[in-house]
Structure 1
Amino acid sequence: MRIKTHIVFFISFVSVFLNGLHAANSDSDSLILGCGSENEAKDADGRKWQPDSKYLTGSKGSPAQAQYQDPALLSEVPYMKARIFTSNATYKFPVKPKQRYIIRLYFYPAVYGSNNAEQSYFAVIANGITVLQNFSASITCKALTQAYIMREYFLAPLNKDSLEVTFSPSAGFAFVNGIELIGTPDMFGSATIVGASDQTFDGKSTNLQTMFRVNIGGQFISPTNDSGALSRTWYDDFAYVFGAQLGVTNEAAKDVKIDYKDMPGYIAPVDIYKTSRSMGEKKDINLSYNLTWVFNQVDPKFMYLVRLHFCDFYLSKTNQIVFTVYINNQTAEAEADVIGWTGGKGVPTYRDYVVALKDGSDGNLWLALHPATKSRPEFYDALINGVEIFKLEQGKTLAGPNPNPSEMLAKDQERERSFENQQQQGGSGTNKAHVIGGAAGGAAAFGIVAALCIAVYQRKKKALGTETHTSSWLPLYGNSHTSGTKSTISGKSTASSHLTTAAQGRCRRFSFIEMKQATKSFDESNVIGVGGFGKVYKGVIDAGTKVAIKRSNPQSEQGVHEFQTEIEMLSELRHKHLVSLIGFCDEDNEMCLVYDFMSRGTLREHLYKGNKSQAQLSWKKRLEICIGAAKGLHYLHTGARWTIIHRDVKTTNILLDENWEAKVSDFGLSKTGPNMDNGHVSTVVKGSFGYLDPEYFRRQQLTEKSDVYSFGVVLFEALCARPALNPSLPKEQVSLADWALHCQRKGTLEDIIDPHLKGKVNMESIKKFADTAEKCLSDAGTDRPTLNDILWNLEFALQLQDDPDGSNHSSRRARSDSDDAHLRNQNMMAIHYSNLSLGSESDLNEESNNNNNTNSNETTGDSSAIFSQIVNPKGR
């Protein structure tokens, strides 16, 4: 009887404990508010946002609708609606006493009716703490190169049953798009103070602001995949890795179980501890460098709590890996032994450190790992799984100044404004250009189109009175941007002097001597392509690593800007289906770009350049290549932090690795940025004939749908195995886009598909593929599908080919909302570094003026050029 009583008591105790824990994280202890919304609405992840009005006391402000949805917004909720305040206004939220809360504030700086966020400055006070002061969401987004921002704060445990959050306009008006309030266990305790190891910091009663939350070596983790009900967002770490030595990424085997033991599961999701970044297996290399991350835009006036997450899922003994942890060049942990801390394989842990930034830190917080040799571990290596950085309250405030845009960004914005003013002053000349462009868009013959394009460009050039290089609206990360200046003495640039420190730090810098050694003094036998930038050479570095080296042509008019853009772009972006930049050389008036070598060259050469492997390129293989390229473009359009428009999509810029994986290359013409107030940007027309969006050509207005048009041409090229332009054909067949559309609408497309495919493919798959390509070539950009839609259709075409009986088609058609959300999350991930490559090893036996190349923008051998330009090089 006594035993039964004890059992009942134990079960009751556990039940009460679990219920209490659940209550601390239940939906009833959370609020997710869409500010300015009158009804409940779901975001892209399926989370429900409630109206906010009932929580306002006194002035309720006014609801407003954003006039334009930036392409970088993956969801209308909560960003497209806002609550506008022209005077002080306070939210009053019910809370539990002695409970710590997370509060998140969402801001999308747009135009709301007559209220332009550029004129908005305000303060926010929560729990008596000033979290924002004289805050401008517009300035902050521009400086951080983001379309929208979220600010997250951990509020100290409250001694009352309500939380007041006050918005106070300091100029113009205040606004907010969304508010989240989530009850959370107190996750902060004692932390070691870096530089004073005998002292500790107690974080239990401290207010904090989340600055960075990073999944090291892993991928983006969405709020819906976070642990508990905390809905945190974890970003990949590639944007912060410093230097050419990236280490290696690791992933736990499927049979490895992550065992939290005594550590609460809400500290971090299990996915954090299933991936890591380490230094690698080579002792000598590991001892020669630090595995380093740099976190910028950090206010030096505050102290920061740095939380490091560790889990070793390979090793199981102490003293196998021991390493030193440095934070801002100070030793935070002299000998970190993860197994020694956790006691076993697959057991996670974390360590907290508090650091004060030193004067002259330039707003950067550095984290570095290096093997510790004193204890003579079995392996000279280091590892880490995750990083969180929090700003600590100081004097009842967490507010810092609005970030300053970089000098390069400011110059670039001024250049864009100057260009727009000159465009407007062009008057009738601009109108004439539109008329001529419209006529050219309807012409089928390539010669007429080319002549008109060049004429338009020359007229525009004269109207501007200078050679205009329009660059990106906004940089990729932090303070990055480029300027396209040239030296008047040499015709070359000191290009790298205009690159950001971050971009240079993330790329390896080669000497020109190394470039000569790698290519045997640029021996002509190593040439694998020629483009507007210059020749592309096959080379070997580091005693065996094959690379493709693109060397600038002294006579080229395009070099500097494209050189800078390529480095800035590819040093920041990493995706399975994008090329990877290894490094660059900018020395002795020479500019070189170094890429990983791609053994199978370009898609074009496998379609119709007489390559012996053409017969191997089955319909299924072509579909898989097109799907891979679409994934790369989709990531550029929606998965990065803002829209990136490639502007030169074509088969020579789709490269293939040894496994036939497609990689999108050549970012010299790319445009980036979230601030397209009218859904487009007005810019000089650049691209490649045959692929050029006629709407873009007519209006000089660039959108992401311009890439969709070009990709539609690529799809027909893959289907028909012929060049985008071939003037040797009859007039009506010169343009592949025009001829394929004509045959598609006449029902005769089967007559022009690649003869190698006939009788070997499922025609339902061909039909779905052709329908998709046709939609991509719609005259109006608004009628063209998104890359997301294109991807689904191509995957459906692949399934039709694999499953001709149609047994699985119904499930394919009935794609669920959860699949959509998963795809969005996949596209948001910055996939960790992989071996992306460039170049081809094929022989150079074919004449460079083959039909496919006569009207292209490059001259190549059997491996096509990687860099492109309009026929007249000045057009780029």
Structure 2
Amino acid sequence: MNPIYISIIIIYTSHISNILITLAQPSSTSTPPPLSLNCGSKEGGNDADNRKWEPDNKYLVSSDKSITSTALTQEPSLSSDIPYMTARIFTGETSYKFNINSTSRYIIRLHFYPSEYPDYNVKNSFFIVTTKNPDDVSITLLRNFSAFITAEALSQAYLIKEYSLAAFNSDSITLTFKPESKSFAFVNGIELITEPELFDDQAGLVGVAESAGTIDGLTSNMQNMFRLNVGGQYIPPTNDSGGLMRSWYDDTPYIFGAGTITHIGNISVDYKDLPEATAPVDVYRTARSQGPDPNINKQSNVTWVFHVDANFTYLVRFHFCEYQLDKINQRVFEIYLNNETAFATADIIAWTGEKGVPTRKDYAVYIGDKRGKDVELWVTLHTNIDLKPEFYDILLNGLEVFKLSDSKSNLAGPNPVPSELMQKQLIANREADDAIKIKHVVSGAVGGMATIGVAFAVMFMIRRRKRVPGSDSAVSSWLPIYGHSTSKSTISGRSQCGSSLSTDAVCNCRYFSLVEIKSATNNFEESNVIGVGGFGKVYKGIIDGNMKVAIKRSNPSSEQGVNEFITEIEMLSKLRHRHLVSLIGFCEEGNEMVLVYDYMGKGTLREHLYKGNKITLTWKQRLDILVGAAKGLHYLHTGAKYTIIHRDVKTTNILCDDNWVAKVSDFGLSKTGPNLNQNHVSTVVKGSFGYLDPEYFRRQQLTEKSDVYSFGVVLFEVLCARPALNPSLPKEQVSLADFALQSARKGTLEEMVDPQLKGTIKPEAFQKFTDCSLRCLADHGLERPSMGDVLWTLEYVLKMETDDERPRNDKKSGSSSGAVEFPVQSSDMIAMHLNTLSLDSDDDDDDDDANGAGAFSQIIAPKGR
């Protein structure tokens, strides 16, 4: 072969070899995959969102000062067993070491579940967490941190601390946990995620001279304090953009005052040059603005208030996406941070050039120590009056607040202090716990004497008790709740909370002996069981010879049944209404708690909705039942002596008698509403998942609008004939409420309708019904209708369906589609204006008033209001 060819082959072979070797070596600029550690676990596993978490042991520098542990209790509010049910406990300083890309920012998330762990009292856990690179550049993330105190102050079962750290210029990073003196540290989960370039080097610093007023976000270490989907609902990590697994929360708890409107825009979002990881599409499709009155808007503002740590600079990121307007100077507003102007002429279209294009703006503010006052960050938007825009209004889609490290590379703040109300509640809880402990100690110490005393007490009670005819051996509980004296007596020794019945409740109810109850149910024969609930089984029974009754017997192993038992009697003994189940009486004897009700021959509403039931309810029958249930709830909210909040509205608690008359049942969780000086009741969250008001769940503040939300779920359950929660469905369809809201945005609500009903609902009735149902599901209670408004709408829909004066093939009724305008937008000043412009070109609607309807057209016309 020609020597020249041989030389060329050798040269090419050498080049190819070098390329292959280079490709085989790991690149220093490659992005490592996200790391999720289930600390203290030997095998890792998948969480509730099917995210994979791996064990943490191989990342420990040394494990001689750490042990693995498992939580002894599991809170119902835990989002997943993994990573929270296992923990790594540190008895001495211990570090993790991770390999990283030297040029990238990183997100570190620490998960804490301050539960009970064997041999370790989490109340005594105080520790420091720091990060460090090989060049000894360190950042303090937490100092003297107590997960227990923090979770208690925030009313949270678990905590997530998230940090965004600048590039370390190193190929590794250590994360160190150091217990305070005579204490221990722990962690349940750790996440390490590469963060794309999302920050600028020129964030404006508010309140200082413009020449010196910028913050370098690129090189700053920061902690995420708040991340809000303004005007929208919670967005879970699995729905975040860019694989960053962030959670976006509802902004409602941080709104100061009222008077705002939420929007949902069914638009296509075009990110243009903005990285998609900045925020998910759902953030830019929801927003909050002011109300419809421009005169009010000129004199008011929209403000969010956040509790923060003193002596830190905070970077506030605003997310904007205009989807109503498309011209400059149509909507212009001012942005303030703690009453300092951040930007005076915010015009989203001027920034983006067109609607449907998102943008974000960063501003920073330093917050010093305000002695004797809460340290707060106020974010305020106010319409700009001076530029005279076409619409006096504001718009915001998302909001993030980051705390920047101080000059000592410190991000740690103090442990939070519970609010005054919460402190009182915590003290009361501790006193109750202490009383129980003292009771156990005393009872143990005087066990022998107590036995003798109890024996005398039993004999005394037996002699005093009126014997049941025909049963000389029947004996009541030791302390019956239906005492004859004016004093109240506690229930059967099972209650440790001193619950008791009022004299009025006793007088209004019939007392049944246990012998009577057993006779009525044939000794609780299983063939008589007609239902099972959280309280216990429900039996069909016969009393007084031929009277059918429903007998609800408590589960003997249930410790919660005592409170529900007493609440049910107290509530129902004072209520009489056609659409409330009547309580006939009760029995409390021999460790049994039994409630006796009117018999409801048709059972629960749920029984007649889902697939496989013998009876298929027509649309009109369903509306009749809903109207009856709404009347019952409306009476509870407004017609009784006090406002009564049911707190457990669902299809299994709506019963039907033999004539299909609907009645609301199960008042075991009910609460008397707030007085005139309050707008809510602060209480522990209880209810049924799938029906639970999200605002009540977040804030523990109960109002009658919580019942309205639950009833909104019932409305969709009746329309769609599917459960409120169905885990077997695709993830986005599991929650009926969430799926309904998503379908409304997409205009696909008609696809959710029960196949048995398709073609039987008038389009205008469907529009009115779904509009009301969606308003019931509004995230903010103030935006939901009252139960009276819901009742009026349902009666109106029922009238529309039974009124045959308007033919079904009318050209206007036939024009309706599954696209339902989101209800809140109907009162939006801008939406009303734009709708008016589009209606002006529609000649078909010009004859609405030709029939003399005049001012009453909203009542007469099937389209309603």
Match of 1:193 in 2: 205
Query: What are the superposed Cα offsets for residues 156-215 of structure 1, whole Å, 9 maximum, x if unpaired?
Result: 112111110001011421100000000011211120010133421111111100000000
For 1:795 and 1:762, how far apart are their aligned partners in 2?
24
Match of 2:241 in 1: 227
For residue 184 of structure 1, the aligned residue among 195, 198, 216 is: 195
1:137-176 residue pairs with structure 2 within 5 A? Answer: 137-171=147-181, 172-176=183-187
For residue 211 of structure 1, the aligned residue among 221, 225, 229 is: 225
1:366-381 residue pairs with structure 2 within 5 A? Answer: 366-381=378-393
Q: Secondary structure at the match of 2:215?
A: strand
Question: Judging changes above 3 Å, is the alpha-carbon distance between structure 1 residues 826 and 356 closer, same or farther for their aligned structure 2 residues?
Answer: farther
Q: Secondary structure at the match of 1:341?
A: helix
| Residue identity opposite 2:36 in structure 1 | I
Is 1:33 aligned to residue 46 of structure 2? Answer: no
Is 1:58 aligned to residue 72 of structure 2? Answer: no
For residue 48 of structure 2, the aligned residue among 26, 44, 58 is: 44
Match of 2:3 in 1: none
For 2:340 and 2:583, how far apart are their aligned partners in 1?
61
Structure 1 residue 300: deviation in Å? Answer: 1.3
Task: Give the share of equivalent positions with the same residue, in percent.
Answer: 39
Match of 1:353 in 2: 363
Structure 1 residue 362: deviation in Å? Answer: 1.7
Is 1:818 aligned to residue 731 of structure 2? Answer: yes
Does the 8 A contact of 1:769 with 1:797 survive in 2?
yes
Query: What are the superposed Cα offsets for residues 443-501 of structure 1, whole Å, 9 maximum, x if unpaired?
Result: 9xxxx99993354982459x9xxx9899xxxxxxxxxxxxxxxxxxxxxxxxxxxxxxx
Match of 1:453 in 2: 481
For residue 80 of structure 2, the aligned residue among 75, 78, 83 is: 75
Structure 1 residue 405: deviation in Å? Answer: 2.0
Does the 8 A contact of 1:26 with 1:229 survive in 2?
no
Question: Judging changes above 3 Å, is the alpha-carbon distance between structure 1 residues 827 and 114 closer, same or farther for their aligned structure 2 residues?
Answer: farther
For 1:73 and 1:350, how far apart are their aligned partners in 2?
33
Does the 8 A contact of 1:765 with 1:801 survive in 2?
no
1:198-597 residue pairs with structure 2 within 5 A? Answer: 198=211, 199-243=213-257, 245-253=258-266, 256-296=267-307, 298-360=308-370, 362-394=374-406, 395-423=408-436, 452-453=480-481, 455=483, 458-459=488-489
For residue 723 of structure 1, the aligned residue among 581, 593, 598 is: 581
| Residue identity opposite 1:286 in structure 2 | N
Structure 1 residue 225: deviation in Å? Answer: 0.3
For 1:81 and 1:185, how far apart are their aligned partners in 2?
31
Match of 2:784 in 1: 835
Question: Judging changes above 3 Å, is the alpha-carbon distance between structure 1 residues 232 and 770 closer, same or farther for their aligned structure 2 residues?
Answer: closer
Q: Secondary structure at the match of 1:452?
A: coil
| Residue identity opposite 2:786 in structure 1 | S
Query: What are the superposed Cα offsets for residues 350-400 of structure 1, whole Å, 9 maximum, x if unpaired?
Result: 110010114426221101111111111001111111100000011111011
For 1:195 and 1:24, how far apart are their aligned partners in 2?
41
Structure 1 residue 795: deviation in Å? Answer: 14
Is 1:95 aligned to residue 100 of structure 2? Answer: yes
Question: Judging changes above 3 Å, is the alpha-carbon distance between structure 1 residues 375 and 691 closer, same or farther for their aligned structure 2 residues?
Answer: farther
| Residue identity opposite 1:215 in structure 2 | N
Does the 8 A contact of 1:725 with 1:736 survive in 2?
no
For 2:458 and 2:561, how far apart are their aligned partners in 1?
12
Does the 8 A contact of 2:585 with 2:596 survive in 1?
no
Question: Judging changes above 3 Å, is the alpha-carbon distance between structure 1 residues 454 and 699 closer, same or farther for their aligned structure 2 residues?
Answer: farther
Q: Secondary structure at the match of 2:583?
A: coil
Query: What are the superposed Cα offsets for residues 244-291 of structure 1, whole Å, 9 maximum, x if unpaired?
Result: x231001113xx211111111111111111010000221111112111
Q: Secondary structure at the match of 1:209?
A: strand
For 2:604 and 2:52, how far apart are their aligned partners in 1?
50
For residue 119 of structure 1, the aligned residue among 101, 120, 124 is: 124
For 1:121 and 1:424, how far apart are their aligned partners in 2?
26
For 1:80 and 1:759, how far apart are their aligned partners in 2?
38
- Residue segments in structure 2 that go unaligned for 5+ positions in a row: 1-22, 133-137, 444-449, 469-475, 506-532, 536-549, 618-649, 656-664, 669-685, 693-710, 742-776, 793-865
For 1:347 and 1:759, how far apart are their aligned partners in 2?
43
Query: What are the superposed Cα offsets for residues 304-362 of structure 1, whole Å, 9 maximum, x if unpaired?
Result: 00000111100000000111111111111111111111111111111100101144262
Query: What are the superposed Cα offsets for residues 32-64 of structure 1, whole Å, 9 maximum, x if unpaired?
Result: 110011113111111111111000012251110
For 2:236 and 2:357, how far apart are their aligned partners in 1?
23
For 1:700 and 1:728, how far apart are their aligned partners in 2?
14
Match of 2:843 in 1: none
Query: What are the superposed Cα offsets for residues 619-666 of structure 1, whole Å, 9 maximum, x if unpaired?
Result: xxxxxxxxxxx9xx9xxxxxxxxxxxxx9xxxxxxxxxxxxxxxxxxx
Structure 1 residue 421: deviation in Å? Answer: 3.6
For 1:382 and 1:798, how far apart are their aligned partners in 2?
33
For 1:799 and 1:330, how far apart are their aligned partners in 2?
46
Does the 8 A contact of 2:204 with 2:364 survive in 1?
yes
Q: Secondary structure at the match of 2:82?
A: coil
Is 1:129 aligned to residue 139 of structure 2? Answer: yes
Does the 8 A contact of 1:88 with 1:168 survive in 2?
yes
Question: Judging changes above 3 Å, is the alpha-carbon distance between structure 1 residues 381 and 334 closer, same or farther for their aligned structure 2 residues?
Answer: same
Match of 1:529 in 2: none
Query: What are the superposed Cα offsets for residues 783-840 of structure 1, whole Å, 9 maximum, x if unpaired?
Result: xx9945999xx99999999999xxx99xx99914736876798899992453231458
Does the 8 A contact of 1:101 with 1:156 survive in 2?
yes
Question: Judging changes above 3 Å, is the alpha-carbon distance between structure 1 residues 211 and 37 closer, same or farther for their aligned structure 2 residues?
Answer: same
Aligned residues: 563
Q: Secondary structure at the match of 1:726?
A: strand
Question: Judging changes above 3 Å, is the alpha-carbon distance between structure 1 residues 211 and 802 closer, same or farther for their aligned structure 2 residues?
Answer: closer
Larger Rg: 2
Question: Judging changes above 3 Å, is the alpha-carbon distance between structure 1 residues 153 and 136 closer, same or farther for their aligned structure 2 residues?
Answer: same
Q: Secondary structure at the match of 2:81?
A: coil
Q: Secondary structure at the match of 1:115?
A: coil
